[in-house]
Chains A and B, each alone.
Chain A
């Protein structure tokens, strides 16, 4: 194995930005929703990940705005991030398909009557 799969926080962040740009707290809420409440990303962790992904060119700062007197940046998925997310989605799809195939084979094996020929 030569390629490291995306870690879950990164995958969730890229997924949260896949449909539209979002600001920091919007990302925290979206990740909470996507993971069905399992992952609650905290401010410092989120910001560390955003720093890294911006530096890697996977996301970009789309605009900066002030809402209710509070400054915030709006982040968007960059082209490279879209490619990485698409590749990871494909990898996960292949894993899911293989898992389904094996489970189906196991089920078929389990219901086959004893002594029946294949």
Chain B
């Protein structure tokens, strides 16, 4: 990226800001950008411009760190990575469960799909490790990689021998968690993210809970322990228990405030949507519970900026 392209990228990034904000702060943002990229290479300038663009989008959508909505996303992001990691690790049971022959790797798409199924949990584990150590740039890159891998996996599955058998909702089910979790992680304001001992305990508890619950569901689904009728209940039941469990963990180990409650709900929302995409009565109840607990404080808070000074808020 040349200097000229660099200033073009910055201009585009500034255009993403609301006009009034750009008029008031554009000159200063430009000045800081110019100084920060004085000795930077093309990649450094592009990353700086992307960061300014992200700031503009957050201002425009009300997801800045000075808004409760941004705080809720910052609360949700680490927990969402933990839930996704636990769920994907539990998903490995499908490959290794004794007596189950799930993937006849007879064609190239089958083999690649199988490799993707094995690689995805590793990417999520790496993302979790990055979150654990507070390396959010790496965590975001890994989550985006997991999203891309999952998209590729779904495309491959469409061409594989197993395919989706004319049920596109399976594709939605497989994409819901990586795409929505990725959206939460990317939208969370960077200046509210960082490592802390209480967050690490929350990550441990949430990952373990999601893995244990997910493994239970996998075993029941794999071996049909309770018959077909029970399978329609177990998904929503899992999502409900997961939501309640993550909420308890977050309230016990984190701050007991509105953004924690909403953050826990947003963190389990991708999984909840995944298991309730084929709406059953139990699924509707769980989905409504999670949506209400995530969106009511979210929407209430979105109308007003952050209230004065509690140090606990950052």
Contact = CB atoms under 8 A, between A and B. Distances in A.
Contacts of B52: 42-44, 47
A36 to B, nearest CB: 15
A90 to B, nearest CB: 12
Interface residues of A, number: 36
A71 B66 contact: no
Interface in A23-80: 24-25, 28, 41-49, 51-52, 55-58, 70-73, 80
Interface in A1-35: 1-10, 24-25, 28
A51 B48 contact: no
Contacts of A41: 191
B267 interface: no
A80 B54 CA distance: 29
A54 to B, nearest CB: 8
Interface stretch (B28-36, B143-151, B154-162, B277-285): B28-36
A70 B27 CA distance: 7
Contact of B190 (A48, A57, A84): A48
Contact of A52 (B28, B191, B196): B191
Contacts of A48: 55, 58, 64-66, 189-191
A5 B307 CA distance: 17
Contacts of A94: none
* A6, A56, A57, A58 interface centre (most CB from chain B within 10 Å): A56
B195 A8 contact: yes
B5 interface: no
A100 interface: no
Contacts of B306: 52, 55-56
A94 to B, nearest CB: 13
Contacts of B34: 70
A17 to B, nearest CB: 14
A47 B311 contact: no
Interface string B165-192: 0000000000000000000000001111
A4 B254 CA distance: 7
Given A4-B313, A44-B52, A45-B191, 20 more contacts: A3-B311, A4-B257, A8-B195, A9-B190, A10-B191, A24-B31, A25-B31, A41-B191, A42-B48, A44-B13, A44-B55, A48-B55, A48-B58, A51-B64, A51-B65, A52-B65, A52-B191, A52-B314, A56-B66, A72-B28
Interface of A: 1-10, 24-25, 28, 41-49, 51-52, 55-58, 70-73, 80, 84, 87-88
